[in-house]
Chains A and B, each alone.
Chain A
């Protein structure tokens, strides 16, 4: 391996480490999710092992009783959106800037 190769390998490693670190994402809550959590929005940086909406709900559920009241107690009912599009729980958080949690919709 030449010095240049070594430098490239190091650069790659560094990039990987950067991408593996926590993402920062805006979370927004609506209706009884907002009321139970006690706020309408917040910005959080979940750890890198949180890869999907389902992972994020487990992680949020461990943040305190008000979160557990939604993300554990109501985990089968709560719906999610990434960047304002409805998504199922197994969806990856990659590219997520805004993640919303809310009850099933009741408009019309």
Chain B
């Protein structure tokens, strides 16, 4: 156990993996000697600040109370915490002391009805910020992403430098809307968190709810969830490959990816479910009437014949993505970038490997350390291959019991799902059966912190291709 982990466990245990620290313990955690645990998420409300960390492959939450609406900033130790601190200030007006960032607004650009809208003492709305004169702006509608995200930067000798990211345009206040609802009532909102995770987001949420309630989904439900997640992974990877290919004039590869994705969608529709798998995951399992075996067989039949040609085309066009938006292994480690982007940059984190009942022999992709657009695209295709193998392995032993024990019911739970774009985490706290507090972490958040470094040195013309290759989702960042 690391020194940081030991300090956290010295706090009061309030749930399965959640420790409440006093001010001294919090400070000691941030100054702990030795290795720094990976930070997955940082958030705060008016009363407490939380960090969700990863120790090995196990989640660990530490929290402490606010003192006069201020707290010692986790970003003083975990650079990636800076986004969460700025979000907390915009929503609640709580201040992070000794924060590492520039303190710029994360979500509130001065156009909301109120300042600190979730605070018990909200102020009047602000004034829209004006762009800094002399800087080049890549407006949201030209970023190349499917959601609004704006970049501003300097151009020095034709290269991008000093990138600032405005990622708050897509903020909808979804998490706040869930408070006071039952988990079942809030599922439609969770299911529309971001389109790259129509399955993965509700799945992570339902796992968190199950843990809070002290329930363990049965092997049939578990395997159905796994299959749905793999179908979504293939569909989203194909979408991201097609979009990236279009931006480097690799239209033929894009065409085949688009056709393959539509074939998956058609296979789903023919089985009587939504083309993009919306509203299938439920807290107690899955939508009534879903026939998972014929669905899985139809999707495998649609995808399998296309794989050889997709691999050929991907290798033909790969040189166009060489050196695009390089995320170094050191950056991936420092900012705890997980998911496909992290795995293409030398990290090995894939939370599927820790899931009960996982058919580990199907997950054969080994990642890369190149960290560029070509490495990400190659890995996407390899992961599609693995998804097909995993689905077939599950079909061979569907519902296989593994005697996983149910957790203790503490009314608080953490759930995770390895979505197509990375690990999605939910933390929920229930009170009288309703959501008392909730936090979600989309993989795009960890990309956000490292984005300026990754885009540094690109030409302005290549920025849309770079953003598409990273598959950053503004709706997942801003929520």
A binds B: no
Spell out B's residues near A (CB within 8 Å): none
